[in-house]
Amino acid sequence: MNHFGSSLIGVCLLLSSGTPPRLVPRTAELQAIKVEEKEARELAVQFTIRFTETQDLSPIIRQLYFGDFVERYKSFKTKELPTKPVDLYFAPGLDYNSQLIGADSKDWEAFYVATNNFLLLGFISALRGQSDETANIKPSDLYPSEVIELLGKNPTLANMILRKKTGKAVATVGEMRAATATLAQAATIIREKEG
């Protein structure tokens, strides 16, 4: 009977996993999805080409992002926050204190641009150096030693390339601005090395 029960449950799961006819998208809906997918691919190509040309997110943000993308981010994060301050993830190895959600949108945009310029330039650097011998690339291989040393001097950025210890979250607008300036300086070093 135990085998029969298991078999019956298996058959029920198999039958119930099928999509009911009323949930199958209609032809018009499929066409809309295909149009959206095409637009998303075209936007990704535009983004990639522009970043490759400029190596800077600032002009791309003005051209391709929603004008209020920072406010949308802050609003989204505000909705999910507990009542007491917590550290929130921003990028690999970079957290921030939830109280910074109230910081000026210009500071947030600069922080976003500097952080993502740094990360994208590291990926580009790794791709340029890609070969069969570099299949086991380490995070420290993505960035010049000067950049690794520079980030290591800032306690809020020290874990962005290699996790060395428990990280320190960005807790104040001053720390946010310092992190932004350090990441911008790191991006400049990467551009000069790759140039």
Residue 24: band (very low, low, confident or very high) from pLDDT cuts 50, 70, 90: low
Nearest to 119 by CA among 87, 167, 151, 72: 151
In which element (H, E) is residue 126 found? Answer: helix 105-128
- pLDDT tens readout for residues 80-135: 787 788 899 899 889 999 999 999 999 999 999 999 999 999 888 777 766 555 55
Domain membership of residue 150 as a residue range: 66-194
More confident residue, 18 or 114: 114
* 190 CB-contact burial (10 Å; exposed 0-12 / middle 13-18 / buried 19+): buried
Domain count, the chain: 1
Report the predicted TM-score, pTM, of the whole model to 2 decimal places: 0.74
120 occurs within a structural domain: yes
Tens of pLDDT, residues 73-82: 999 988 878 7
Which residues on adjacent β-strands are paired with residue 95? Answer: 89
How large is the average pLDDT for residues 156-179?
90
* C-beta of residue 160 within 8 angstroms of C-beta of residue 173: no
Question: Is residue 77 in some structural domain?
Answer: yes
Q: For residue 170, what is the DSSP state?
A: B
Whether residue 190 contacts residue 127, with contact meaning beta carbons closer than 8 Å, is answered with no
Helix (H) or strand (E) holding 91: strand 87-91
Residue with tokens 């802050």: 74
81 is a domain residue: yes
Residue 102 structure tokens: 């109230």
Region 171-181 average pLDDT: 96
Is position 17 within any domain? no
Confirm whether 59 is domain-assigned: no
In angstroms and rounded to an integer, the radius of gyration of the C-alpha atoms of the chain is 23
Asked if residue 22 belongs to a domain, the reply is no
pLDDT tens for each residue of 27-73: 767 777 888 888 888 888 888 889 888 999 999 999 989 999 999 99
